[in-house]
Amino acid sequence: MLRKRSPLIICGAFVFVAWNVILFFVLMRRPSTQGALDSPDELGNKGDRAGGDQFGNIMNEVMRVANAFEAEIESQKKILLQIQSHWSVWENKGGVTAAKSKSQAEHSVPVVIPILVIACNRVTVKRCLDKLIEHRPSAELYPIIVSQDCGHAETSDVIASYGSQLTHIKQPDLSDISVPPQYKKFQGYYKISRHYRWAFNQVFNTFSYSSVVVVEDDLEVAPDFFEYFRALHPILKSDPTLWCVSAWNDNGREGFVDPGKASLLYRTDFFPGLGWMFTKDLWAEIEPKWPASFWDDWMRQPSQRRDRSCIRPEISRTLTFGRKGVSLGQFYDKYLRFIKLNTEFVPFTKMDLSYLEKKKYDESFEKEVYSASVVTVEDLQSGKLTGSGPFRVQYSSPDSFKTLARNLGVMDDLKSGVPRAGYRGVVHFLFRGKRVYLAPPAGWSQYNPSWS
C-alpha cells in the first residue's frame, strides 16, 4: 500500500510545478482588454487625453493580473503544503529508507525519570544524596525529589543544604494514627504507609511524571544505578508481565554472587523494593486500595502482584547502611550489611536485553534449572563436587525449603509462598563458587500462599 502511494505523491508534486509554470506564462502574456479592442493605428490617432486614459487602463489591468497571480500562488502554496504533509506521514510509516523505526522515534527524546528519596529523621540521608548526585549523569533527566516525613529539623536542614540540586517536599500530616491496641508498637509502619501514599501522589499527580525510581534515605547507589534504570525503563513500560524493576538482590551477599557477571539480570516473582522503579499506570491501579500499614508485604500478596514479575540484578545496585529504623534491624546484622554493591559500570543501554522477555526467558530458565544435576546439601558442603555447576537442590514443602535455605546460607522466609529472589519457585545463587538452584520439583505451576 505504501509503495503504491509513492508515485501518486510524486505525480501530485510534478503537476503542481507544471501548473504554476503554465499559469505564469499565461498571465504574463495575457493582453489587456483595451489592447484587444484597439489597433495600433487607432491608438496612434487618439489624442493626449486618450493616451492618458489608455495608460491608466493598462496599469489597472497590470495590477489586476498581479493580484490574480498572487492569489493563485497562495492557493498553490496551500496545495504544496498538503502534499508535503502527506509525504511526511508516508515517510514516517516506513515508506523510505531513511524513515526511523517507532522505537528510534521514542528514544529521540529521552524520558525524564525522577528519583524519589523517602526521608524522615536520619541526617545520614546526606550519604544517600551525595552518591545520587555524584553518579547522576543529568539533573534534567533525573530530577531528585526528597519527600520528608517526621518534621525532623536537623534532617530538614541537611536536605535544604543541597539547594537547587533537588526538590524538597514535606508530608504535611504529622499526626498520630489511630491503631488497634495490639498494633500500637507498629505505629511507625502506619506512618510510613501514609507517607508513601502522599509522596507517590505528589510525583504522579502534582509533578505529573510517568514513572519513578524510589530510594529510601539509607541507601547508597552504585555508579551505574542510573544507567541500569534507563535501560530497563522501556522494557517495564512495554511488558505487561512486569510491574517493577529493582536494584536489589536479596541474596546478593559477598560470596553468593558472581563478581565477574555484573551485567546479568533476572526475572523474580518476589517484590524486592530497596531502590525500585514503577509506573504511573501501576499507581493508578493500586492507589485506591493502598494499605494502612506494611505496604511492602502487601505488595507481595497475589492480589497485587497478579502473577507479574520484577527485574533484579545479579549484583545489587543499592546498599543499605541504615540499621536503625522501624524494623529494629531485622535481617540487617545477619544479611543486609553483607550485601555486595556493584562497582563496575555496565553499559546496559547499549546491550541487548531481549532475553528478559517472558517467553524467551522462561524457556531458557526451565531448561537450565531442570537439566542441572540434583545434589544434596551434604554434597555441596563436602566440596567433592567437580565443576562450577549448575547444581540443583530440591525442596518439596515450606519446611524443607527453610531448612535447606538456612543450611545453604540464603534468606529462608516466604511471603505469600514466594521465596526471596525466587522465580517460578526457584532461588539461585553461588555456593562456594558453584551455581546452585534451590528448586521445587519439575512441573511447578503456582505458588501456595499458605507457605509463609
Task: Tell me what pLDDT residue 53 has.
Answer: 54
- Which carries the bigger pLDDT value, residue 70 or residue 429? 429
- Beta pairing, strands 242-246 & 391-394: unpaired
Q: Which secondary-structure segment (H or E) carries 153? A: helix 153-160
Nearest Cα to 136, choosing from 247, 34, 211, 221? 221
Task: Tell me what pLDDT residue 57 has.
Answer: 59
User: Measured between alpha carbons, how far is 314 from 186 in angstroms, rounded to an integer?
Assistant: 33
Phi then psi for 123, rounded to 5 degrees? Answer: -70, -15
Torsion of CA 317, 229, 235, 100, to 10 degrees: -140
Which residues in 124-150 are b (16+ Cβ under 10 Å) and which e?
A: ebebbbebbeebbeeeeebbbbbbbbb
pLDDT exceeds 90 at position 33: no
> Is domain 110-356 in CATH 3.40.1160.10, yes or no?
no
User: Measured between alpha carbons, how far is 191 from 174 in angstroms, rounded to an integer?
Assistant: 8
Residue 430 CB burial class (10 angstroms; 0-12, 13-18, ≥19): buried
pLDDT exceeds 50 at position 384: yes
User: Measured between alpha carbons, how far is 360 from 301 in angstroms, rounded to an integer?
Assistant: 26
The per-residue pLDDT of the chain, averaged, comes to 84
CB 285 within 8 A of CB 308: no
User: Measured between alpha carbons, how far is 118 from 125 in angstroms, rounded to an integer?
Assistant: 9
pLDDT exceeds 80 at position 325: no
User: Measured between alpha carbons, how far is 53 from 58 in angstroms, rounded to an integer?
Assistant: 9
pLDDT exceeds 80 at position 223: yes
- Beta pairing, strands 309-313 & 373-374: unpaired
Tell me the pLDDT tens digit for each residue of 273-293: 999 999 999 999 999 999 999
The DSSP 8-state label assigned to residue 112 in this structure reads P
pLDDT exceeds 90 at position 251: yes
pLDDT exceeds 60 at position 32: no
- Residue 353 in 3-state DSSP? coil
CB 242 within 8 A of CB 143: no
In the residue annotation, 217 being an active-site residue is answered as: no
Query: Residue 324: which pLDDT band, with cuts at 50, 70 and 90?
Result: low
Instruction: Please state the pTM of the whole predicted model.
Output: 0.77
Nearest Cα to 113, choosing from 145, 146, 135? 145
Cis ω on the peptide bond leading into residue 390 (within 30° of 0)? yes
Active-site residue among 258, 296, 297, 362? 296
Tell me the pLDDT tens digit for each residue of 181-197: 999 999 999 999 999 99
Please state, in angstroms and as integers, the Cα–Cα distance from residue 287 to each residue in 115, 149, 188, following that order.
19, 19, 20
CB-based contacts of 166: which residues, under 8 Å, 6+ apart?
A: 117, 129, 133, 143, 144, 145, 146, 159
pLDDT exceeds 60 at position 4: no
User: Measured between alpha carbons, how far is 368 from 371 in angstroms, rounded to an integer?
Assistant: 5
User: Measured between alpha carbons, how far is 117 from 142 in angstroms, rounded to an integer?
Assistant: 12
- Hey, which residues does 220 pair with through a beta bridge? 319
Task: Tell me what pLDDT residue 35 has.
Answer: 39
pLDDT exceeds 90 at position 38: no
Query: Residue 63: which pLDDT band, with cuts at 50, 70 and 90?
Result: low
Fold of 363-452: 2,3-Dihydroxybiphenyl 1,2-Dioxygenase; domain 1 (3.10.180)
pLDDT exceeds 60 at position 42: no
